Chain A
Amino acid sequence: GNSVTQMEGPVTLSEEAFLTINCTYTATGYPSLFWYVQYPGEGLQLLLKATKADDKGSNKGFEATYRKETTSFHLEKGSVQVSDSAVYFCALRNNFNKFYFGSGTKLNVKP
């Protein structure tokens, strides 16, 4: 089957700290992988994506690399800001264009 597992939160960091949010997946076929971000009271916004193995998605200083050998898509940022505080969701899209989401990781960044 298809599923996404991501680290539980909340994750609390000081501004300018390094961020890693772990994400692993189980999928049949060749999924595409995504990170979405959800700010309070809003819907999900795409943060970055990768469509095949070894692809690196990047946006706004965030990066994630599609690792087929470890079935992982960990999110990283070198220096977080207070404005990065949000809930982050890892997701996959399978060959039938169905999206599966992890349970979300809440990030709190303190000034």
Chain B
Amino acid sequence: EAGVAQSPRYKIIEKRQSVAFWCNPISGHATLYWYQQILGQGPKLLIQFQNNGVVDDSQLPKDRFSAERLKGVDSTLKIQPAKLEDSAVYLCASRSISKDTEAFFGQGTRLTVV
């Protein structure tokens, strides 16, 4: 079974530029999550999708971050404009809607804003 795929693996941009991350979840997983992991901290949820609908985006800085999940499969997360404090690893995870299942994580995209 293929895992969660994310791209790119690494990205370096200047502040005020824009950037986009892509995620392809495990086939058949209805729930998709985007997490931000700042160095030395645990992952923090940015947004949670169920199919192509948003379940929770309360922690998403909507003035600069946006995310979509067209057709309930792939997802993109965008930052525009980026700030220095956005430097982090952005993790995508997916989960089956079956009871008692865990979230499966991709390898993440390491973003450095200079």
* Interface residues, chain A, with chain B CB atoms under 8 Å away: 4, 32, 34, 36, 41-46, 49, 51, 89, 91, 93, 96-104
Pick the contact of B95 from A4, A45, A51, A97 — CB < 8 Å? A97
In the assembled complex, which residues on chain B have CB atoms less than 8 Å from the CB atom of A45?
A: 105
The reply to whether A96 and B56 contact each other, CB–CB distance below 8 Å, is yes
- Beyond A42-B108, A44-B105, 16 additional pairs, beta carbon < 8 A: A34-B102, A42-B107, A43-B91, A43-B107, A44-B93, A46-B102, A49-B102, A89-B43, A93-B103, A96-B55, A97-B55, A98-B45, A99-B93, A101-B42, A103-B41, A104-B41
**Most chain A beta-carbon contacts within 10 A, residue among B91, B102, B103:** B102
Known interface pairs A98-B48, A103-B42; A44-B100 also in contact (CB < 8 Å): no
* Interface residues, chain B, with chain A CB atoms under 8 Å away: 4, 31, 33, 40-45, 48, 55-56, 91, 93, 95, 100, 102-108
In the assembled complex, which residues on chain B have CB atoms less than 8 Å from the CB atom of A32?
A: 100
Listed by A's residue number, 17 A-B pairs whose Cβ atoms lie within 8 Å are A34-B102, A42-B107, A43-B108, A44-B105, A49-B100, A51-B100, A96-B55, A97-B95, A98-B48, A98-B56, A99-B93, A99-B103, A101-B42, A101-B44, A102-B42, A103-B41, A104-B40
